Chain A
Amino acid sequence: MKFKVLFVFLFLASFLSAQDFLTEQKMNRIQKIYDNLEYNTTAFNDLKKTWIVTDPVYVREIYNKFVVKNGLKIRGKKPTMQELRLKSNDIYEGDVFIDVRKRYYDGEIELLRFFTESPNRESDTSDFFFDEVYDFVYIREILGVELYEDLKKQFYALNDITKTLYDFNYQYNFDIYLHLLEPEMMVWNLTTNARNKYLVSLFGKWGIDRAAMPGWYYPDYFSGVRLKYSEYIVNTVPKTTYLVELGFGIPAKEFSMGDANPLNARRLNHSGTNIYMHFIGSPLGMITPELKDVELDIEGAFALTEDTPDDVKNSDSLYFFSNRNYFTLTALYPALLDLGTAGKLKAGGGFGLYDVKRYLSVPGTPLLEAFPTNIPGNYRWMFGAEAHLEGDGAIISHKISTLFHYNFNDGNGFLGLKFFVMVTNSIGFDFKMFSPLQFSGSLPGYRNDSYFVFSPVIRINY
């Protein structure tokens, strides 16, 4: 009797395994049909409405429905009661969440996944311990219509992680860059071959950072025309190959932070019309190929005429300083170090010179009287080094730079810190701070003891 039993079992086992292979193949075919029934929207997968159910009791309601209908699987196999009890302990701790995703074109829920996550953890340790459940018909059948509608209406505590698309592409219809110290308004653009771009814009520049005379401490507001040429555009971000600026100085009205008397609050004053020139490019590539990345930055302002006392409009005689000429040459190495999200490091240095003249303006006299300062020819040589950390995220783009300026003649130096941030390429904030480093004696008369400027930034680019 027992022998017959064994024989029956053997026969059944062999028969089943052959049949097993056939079902396996059939299962795959039907599974493939099942997965391809819906209209395919994988291109929008990341943009679909996704959220995490965090309410611990609500998670239990949904988990219980799956347990009742035995709808959960672990690696394709139905879990045993012990495995379910083990997972339920995580639920009792309150560390189980449900990842829910909606279909793109209508509001049905196409994906539901249970996962646990240890509360204080660094990186993303979410382990999806049950297989994901997809297809809203199946989910609705398991949850029952009422709980399913409730899940869609989001009447519970949740974290919304629907992705919003932030793209970072420049458009060339117009570009308004409202910045108190460096405004720019693009007025004209032209493409000659398929990829390059000529951009003409009106620009303004208040303050010379390399001479540690930022923003409203500088007497002249240079404004003029800027031509930017970019050889080709890398995913809509122009890779500027050279930039030429030509402008003239407008005497800047004192932007006083409080009622300080305009003239002596700012030690440097306008003393004649001047022209401003600025060139950024990397011409060294023509000489030696290794230096083709080095960026040269040549900037200069030269006074042409000299004001008369009634231009200065002072009521009683007045001594004041004025900077009339300024020239710097700086070489910068871009992308020295790539720190990922923190940005790319760009550093370099250079030298330059600027003059400071001391004038006496007596009302009624035809000309200003120039006094020799203790420095022959009034020219001061300076050496500067700077480092910029630039990052271009889709949401946050930032530029943090430190700048060191040493003045040979005056024997003093300035350490500058510049912090600039833009959010979604539309609103931002820029602030610069220079503090003196004394080496010998006290600061010369035309110097403030610390410089601090800031400005909100609004960009409208269409």
Chain B
Amino acid sequence: MINIRCKTLLLFGILSFTIFSQPVNDLYLRVEKKLSQDKNYLDVFAVTFTPEESQLQPLSNIPRRNDRPSFSFRKKDGVTYQLIFKKETIELDSITLLYVREIEDKQSSGESFFGDASQGPQIDTLTVLTFGDVQDLFDYNPTTYFYIYSLVKNAVKIEDPEALLKLVIDDSRNKSKGISFIDNRDFLSHMRLNSTHIYPVDADEQQTQRRTRRSGETTTASDMQIDASFSHLTFYHNALNLGFGTISAEIDMGSKVLNMLPYQTMGMSFGMRTLFSLKGNLTNLRNDFVIDAKLLGRARINTSDLISSLPFLFGQKPAINVGPGFIVDISTSRLYGFPFLNFYLSTSSGTSLTPYVSFGPAATPSAYFSFNQWEATFSYFWNSSEERTVRFKMDLGAANYDVYKVDYSPVTSKSMLFNKTQPVISLQTTFAPLNSEFLSAKVKFYDGVMNLFFWMKIIDISGVGSFRLETNFMSAPMFRSLYPWETEGSNSMVQIRYRYGF
């Protein structure tokens, strides 16, 4: 039979005494675990301190908790101490010491017997004063605490303490909306990926390009640039770089305004293209006023019966002839805050009337001709995110083309059938992940017809050039009935495009 004696109650007292201090111990334990396990999120600082002879005395036999032997700072070469503390914050009004670590570099102290230099410096760190010890100093041994405190305070005055925070704060800030540059950067990056002509790379732009390219292949600045496909060819050589501008040659089988595919327009335009800036040099394209102007002549070639045999063209024979003449095609960067401007004009004297395609009875044939076309649009650029992986371009404006009906019998007479100015809207989306070209899709609505243009990079072999697959799809007219000079159904075309030196 056990009986209860008053000694037990005494024991209860002692136990409760430790118990009451139990929550404080729990808190110490929790803080010490936090300090050791949370590697990179703690906003604490460390001051390294090697004690001098004179400083040893006040820092000797410091009492420690959990009846661990008292500790004294040592002066030995290769031994340094790290005083880890927290700077003033909103709630902590002064520097708060947290714990002290002793770092011993065995290597330099020459102690290692086996000469294991090969393993490199052998450093072991030991927490000599835990958080609990330092707090007990603060409560019961203020002199030592303030001695260490003053050490840290002076060290902080001399030079910035080492931050133990390992978070990389700035590169992960994310914006909620996309961005659009005030200067020409969006215009230039679009043209470099899509235009068939050269846009010299800006000085600082080069670094960013080269840096990303280095992971790929290094680019030697070749002095020749060719952009060719089944329906166009452009050529540029460094010799033609006149300092204030560049000249390059172009041959193209298509037309910008008419809803017709290359070869269906039965004509070839050839001529020169020049890129110049009013400042007189092409080094700072990003902020200058840039003009990209083309001056082309347009000759008629009867490719009408070639269409059905071209393997890459899926379209019908056209029902309208396009007059010869000359073409002006200008794109400018921003002028006095106005958006980017594009202007295209193709005019023809309207004299040469031999039709390649005609209609009506064989005896009294008649034909449709289009002599003049113009298009004026504003361009707007923006990107879906800061990395500019997805880039958008929208063209808004108006366009016009005329259509004449020419009767050949009894006498050739010309009468205007159509000459209407209508809105044109096009949206181009370019995917350029990590700043390297990948694919782009453009959808354009004009005169009730949807034109879908799409290219995608297939292979990029350094030194040889890059190949792209391009498709061009012209839909049947929507929301309106067919014009007499239009063919039924949709036309589409697939071609390979080769680019060298871009």
A99 within 8 A of B: no
A106 adjacent to B167 (CB under 8 Å): yes
Q: Which of B97-155 contact A (CB under 8 A)?
A: 98, 135, 139
Whether the Cβ atoms of B30 and A138 lie closer than 8 Å is: yes
A33: contacting residue among B21, B86, B172, B338, CB under 8 A: B86
B41 touches A36 (CB 8 A): no
- Of residues 13 through 64 on chain A, the ones whose CB sits less than 8 Å from some CB of chain B are 15-16, 19-20, 23, 26-27, 30-40
Q: A5-B9, A188-B338, A462-B382 known; A36 and B89 CB under 8 Å? A: yes
A141 to B177, CA, bound (A): 39
Are B89 and A137 closer than 8 Å at their CB atoms? Answer: no
A231 proximal to B (CB < 8 A): no
Given contacts A8-B9, A37-B31, A39-B167, contact A26 B135 (CB under 8 A): yes
Chain B minimum-CB-distance residue to A9: B9
B182 engages A30 (CB within 8 Å) = no
Cβ contact of A35, chosen from B21, B42, B91, B392, cutoff 8 A: B91
User: From residue 88 to 144 of chain A, which have CB atoms closer than 8 A to chain B?
Assistant: 103, 105-106, 108, 135-138, 140-141
A-B contact pairs, 5 of them (CB 8 A): A23-B23, A36-B92, A135-B34, A137-B37, A188-B337
Q: Is the interface of B mostly helix, strand, loop or mixed?
A: mixed
Q: How many angstroms from the CA of A105 to the CA of B89 in the assembled complex?
A: 20
- Option from B9, B16, B178, B378 in Cβ contact (under 8 Å) with A187: B378
Interface code B18-53, partner A: CB below 8 Å = 1, 0 otherwise? 001101100110110111011011111000000000
- Residues of B in contact, count (CB < 8 Å): 54
> Are A137 and B176 neighbours in the complex by a CB distance under 8 Å?
no
Chain A: CB-nearest residue to B19: A16
Q: Does B396 contact A (CB under 8 A)?
A: yes
In the complex, are the beta carbons of B27 and A173 less than 8 A apart?
no
Of chain B, the residue at the smallest CB distance from A110 is B41
Q: Which residues of A are found within 8 Å of B339, using beta-carbon distances?
A: 174, 187
Leading 7 A-B pairs by shortest Cβ distance: A462-B180, A12-B13, A39-B43, A165-B176, A462-B382, A105-B167, A137-B37
Q: B35 near A37 (CB under 8 angstroms)?
A: yes
Quick one: which of B410-427 are within 8 Å of A by CB?
425
Query: Shortest beta-carbon distance, B195 to chain A, in Å?
Result: 21
Tell me whether A32 and B337 are in contact in the complex, defined as CB-CB below 8 angstroms, given that A23-B21, A37-B86, A462-B180 are known contacts.
Answer: no
In the assembled complex, B496 has its CB within 8 A of some CB on chain A: no
Contact B338 A187 (CB under 8 A): yes
Least CB distance, A6 to chain B, in whole angstroms: 10
Check B27 against A37 for contact (C-beta < 8 Å).
no
A183–chain B nearest beta-carbon distance, Å: 9
- With contacts A137-B38, A176-B380 known, what are 16 further pairs, Cβ within 8 A? A8-B13, A12-B13, A16-B17, A26-B24, A27-B23, A30-B31, A38-B42, A39-B165, A39-B167, A40-B43, A137-B37, A138-B34, A166-B176, A188-B337, A190-B337, A462-B380
Q: A109: shortest Cβ distance to chain B, in Å?
A: 12
Q: Are B180 and A105 in contact (CB under 8 A)?
A: no
Q: How far is the CA of A108 from the CA of B90 in the complex (A)?
A: 24
A35 and B43 CA atoms in complex are apart in Å by 11
Q: Give A146-189 as 1s and 0s: 1 = Cβ < 8 Å from B's Cβ atoms.
A: 00000000000000000011110001011010100000010111
Residues on the A chain within 8 Å of B464, using CB: none
| Interchain CB contact under 8 A, B180 and A174 | yes
Q: Which of B10, B21, B31, B179 contacts A34 (CB 8 A)?
A: B31
Q: Is B221 an interface residue (CB 8 A)?
A: no
For B6, the closest partner residue in chain A by CB is A5
Minimum CB–CB distance from A29 to chain B (whole Å) comes to 8
Is B394 an interface residue, CB under 8 A from the partner? Answer: yes
On chain A, the residues within 8 Å of B86 by CB distance are 33, 36-37
Q: Which of B28, B30, B42, B91 is most buried by chain A, counting CB atoms within 10 A of its CB?
A: B30
Tell whether, in the assembled complex, residue B44 and residue A37 are in contact, meaning their CB atoms are under 8 Å apart.
yes
Interface residues as binary, B365-403 with A (CB distance below 8 Å gives 1, 0 otherwise): 000000000000010101000000000101010000000
Is B304 in the interface zone, CB < 8 Å from A? no
Provide the residues of chain B in CB contact with A105, threshold 8 Å: 41, 167-169, 172
From A105, which residue of chain B is reached at the shortest CB distance? B167
Do A173 and B182 touch (CB < 8 A)? yes
Closest chain A residue, CB of each to CB of B180: A462
Nearest B residue to A462 by beta-carbon distance?
B180
B157-179, CB < 8 A from A: 165, 167-169, 172, 176-179
Q: Does residue A265 face the partner (Cβ distance < 8 Å to B)?
A: no
Complex: chain A residue closest to B420, CB-CB: A253
- A32 and B91 within 8 A (CB): yes
Chain A nearest CB, measured from B480 CB (Å): 9
Chain B residues in 8 Å Cβ range of A176: 380, 394, 396
B316 within 8 A of A: no
Q: Which residues of B contact A189 (CB under 8 A)?
A: 337
Asked whether A460 is an interface residue with its Cβ less than 8 Å from the other chain, the reply is yes
In contact, A108 and B96 (Cβ under 8 angstroms): no
Within B51-101, the residues touching A (CB, 8 Å) are: 86, 89-92, 96, 98
In the complex, chain A residues whose CB is within 8 Å of the CB of B168: 105
User: B96 — nearest CB in chain A belongs to which residue?
Assistant: A33
Are B27 and A27 in contact, CB atoms less than 8 angstroms apart?
Answer: yes
A31–B26 alpha-carbon span in the complex (Å): 11
B31, A33: Cβ atoms closer than 8 Å: yes
How far is B394's CA from A140's CA once the two chains are assembled, in angstroms? 51
Minimum C-beta distance from B342 to chain A (A): 14
Instruction: Please name all residues of chain A whose beta carbon is closer than 8 Å to the beta carbon of B91 when the two chains form the complex.
Output: 32, 35-36
Q: Counting CB contacts under 8 A, is A286 at the interface?
A: no
Q: Contact partner of A32 among B92, B98, B178, CB < 8 A? A: B92
Among A1, A165, A460, contact of B380 (Cβ-Cβ < 8 Å): A460
Chain A residues whose CB sits within 8 angstroms of the CB of B20 once the complex forms = 16, 19-20, 23
B31 cross-chain contacts in A, Cβ below 8 A = 30, 33-34, 37
**A69 on the interface (CB 8 Å rule)?**
no
Is A75 interfacial (CB 8 A cutoff)?
no
> In whole Å, how far is B149's beta carbon from the nearest beta carbon of chain A?
14
Contacts of A4 in B (CB 8 A): 6
Please determine whether A167 and B92 come into contact, CB atoms closer than 8 angstroms: no
Find chain B residues with CB under 8 A from A15 CB: 17
B16 and A37 form a contact (CB under 8 A):
no
B378 contact set on A, CB distance < 8 A: 185, 187
Contact in complex: A12, B27 (CB < 8 Å): no
Task: Given A20-B20, A33-B92, decide whether A137 and B34 contact each other with a Cβ distance below 8 A.
Answer: yes
Contacts of A20 in B (CB 8 A): 20
Q: Which of A183-204 contact B (CB under 8 A)?
A: 185, 187-190
Expressed in whole angstroms, the Cα–Cα distance for A462 and B379 within the complex equals 13
Question: Could you tell me the distance in whole angstroms from the C-beta of A25 to the nearest C-beta in chain B?
Answer: 10
Question: Which residues of chain B come closer than 8 Å to A106, judged between CB atoms?
Answer: 40-41, 167
